[in-house]
Structure 1
Amino acid sequence: MGVTAAPSTTTVRVRFFAGARAAVGHDEETVRLPGGATLHDLVADLGGRHGAGLTRVLTACSFLLDAVAVRDTSTAVPDGATVDVLPPFAGG
């Protein structure tokens, strides 16, 4: 039985909400990362492409990976996953 290698690229659907959406200027995008990428890699890629405004927002965000809350940014992001970027919401 052989070991299955990670795909050479990972395609991720990223959906932005509230302040993250405002910082990016759109609701969602598709991101291609190297195979075996983590949530940390995705966040770094997003900040690098969208600049300081989004980077500031990302520091306060929480993330859903395929509808499951993820706090550990070393979590691998599988090919075809959806990541929701959720800034803190004000409540009342």
Structure 2
Amino acid sequence: MTYSPETLALRWGCSPATIRNRCAAGDIQHFRLGKLYRITEKTVEDIECQTSLSADCEAASASSGATAESDTVISLRHAPERKQRRKG
């Protein structure tokens, strides 16, 4: 399974632009299909386990043999909403 910036933004409670910016900055491992960003389920799980305080997450990663690729913690926040301009 892969995530688009839009579906991952809904899951993490941030904007799709934040996800795309983090991908472009190299903070989120991704691949491209033309102009589209795609993030693998393993990458999402690794990031969530890095930012989670849950022992269950660590146990699941240890049992599956998954390892974190870096010690970087990604902090996501909501992007400010833009006011729509009136045309006229």
- TM-score relative to the length of structure 2: 0.29
Higher CA-based Rg: 2
Q: Provide the TM-score with structure 1 as the length reference.
A: 0.28
Richer in strand (by share): 1
| Higher percent of residues as helix | 2
